[in-house]
Amino acid sequence: MNYFKIWLAGARYSLVRTMMFRGDFFIWSLVELLWMGVNLLLVAVIYQHTPSIAGWTQYQMVMLVGTGMLVQRLLMGFFWTNLFELGRNVRSGAFDFFLSQPGHPLFMASTRKLDPDGLANSFVALGVVIFAANKLNLHPSVLDMIGYTLVIFAGLAIHYSILVLTMSLSFWLTSTSGIEGTYFALTEFSRLPKGAFHGLARLVFVWILPLVVVSNTPAEILFSGFKLSWALGLVGIAIIWLSVAIFVFNRGLKRYASASS
């Protein structure tokens, strides 16, 4: 409950700050909305020339893209800005601020602020998923919807863990700016069917970095039905990645010399 109260205080601060700069909120919300629209337009253009991609029909692909955008919007709303500031705070010594807070430094550093524009567009992404389900004439059961929600949050935990691992390198490296850009580029692969990956690409993006599985598994649950093995597998992967991320962060924390040095 103490951690929840701390998070709630940060969320309240973020909302108040957003209302102070409402123009920024509307502009960034519009930018993200346009970016999402471009992705859906790309799907529509591609399917003008082919009936399926790796066995996925047009509206199955729309559901996949919507699911990928939902996970990414949640990531950006809750964690993205905080973690991307981690490297700069470590280099400048401003990370001392989080060491003095009443909670674990990773929690404090990754949950201090919310991005309401990202959270607002998560509802748009969810609307895309519902639209695709309607076009596919799907009628998911309560179990399917619970399973979809569970694996969405498991996917969010995987993205969060990979981002924490990436940014924790700032404890060892002078700058992680190139790595940050690489991570953002890799997330683009999460909106492709896993059947489209073969050989080395499948090894990397399906098994080593499960970014493709994060979006494919929830979408498959909606149009193929809930499968316990899929859900437990993704939750297990999320626990492993989160454990590794926390371990690496704590190891890096021991190297932090603070601004006093």
Give 132-180 pLDDT, tens digit per residue. Answer: 999 999 888 899 999 999 999 999 999 999 889 888 888 887 666 666 6
Average pLDDT score, the chain: 85
Q: List CB contacts of 11: < 8 A, sequence separation 6 or more.
A: 114
pLDDT number for residue 179? 67
Give 33-48 pLDDT, tens digit per residue. Answer: 787 888 888 888 988 8
Residue 143 inside a domain? The answer is yes
Residue 258 inside a domain? The answer is no
Give 242-257 pLDDT, tens digit per residue. Answer: 999 999 999 988 888 7
Q: Please give the Cα distance from 237 to 250 (Å, whole number).
A: 20
CA distances from 240 to 46, 72, 210, 237 (A): 36, 20, 12, 5
Residue 167 inside a domain? The answer is yes
Query: Could you give the angle at the alpha carbon of 161 between the alpha carbons of 191 and 164, nearest 5°?
Result: 115
Number of domains in the chain: 1
Q: H helices of 174-260, where?
A: 177-186, 199-202, 211-224, 228-253
Question: Would you place residue 197 in the very low, low, confident or very high pLDDT band (cuts 50, 70, 90)?
Answer: confident
Q: Of the candidates 210, 118, 88, which has an alpha carbon nearest to the alpha carbon of residue 159?
A: 210
Does residue 9 register a pLDDT over 90? Answer: no
Rg value, the chain, Cα: 19
Q: What is the average pLDDT across 3-17?
A: 85
Q: Give residue 52's identity as a one-letter amino acid code.
A: S
Among 25-34, 48-57, 86-95, 129-138, the range with the most confident prediction by mean pLDDT is: 129-138
Residue 260 inside a domain? The answer is no
Residue 218 inside a domain? The answer is yes
Q: List CB contacts of 106: < 8 A, sequence separation 6 or more.
A: 164, 246, 249, 250
Q: Hey, what are 257's tokens?
A: 């010399």
Give 90-147 pLDDT, tens digit per residue. Answer: 888 888 888 888 888 999 889 888 888 888 888 888 999 999 999 999 888 899 999 9
Does residue 28 register a pLDDT over 80? Answer: no
Does residue 259 register a pLDDT over 70? Answer: no
Question: Would you place residue 53 in the very low, low, confident or very high pLDDT band (cuts 50, 70, 90)?
Answer: confident
Residue 114 inside a domain? The answer is yes
φ/ψ bin of 28: left (φ > 0), alpha (ψ from -120 to 50), beta (otherwise) = alpha
Q: Please give the Cα distance from 32 to 155 (Å, whole number).
A: 20
Residue 100 inside a domain? The answer is yes
Burial 237-258 (b: 16+ CB within 10 A, else e): bbeebbeebbebbeebbeebee
Q: Hey, what are 181's tokens?
A: 């850009």
Residue 259 inside a domain? The answer is no
Q: Please give the Cα distance from 140 to 119 (Å, whole number).
A: 24
Helix (H, G, I), strand (E, B) or coil at 10: helix
Q: Give residue 224's identity as a one-letter amino acid code.
A: S
Domain that holds residue 86: 2-253
Residue with tokens 């437990």: 232
pLDDT number for residue 181? 66
pLDDT number for residue 260? 58
pLDDT number for residue 120? 84
pLDDT number for residue 25? 73
Residue 41: Cβ-neighbour burial (10 angstroms; 0-12, 13-18, 19+): exposed
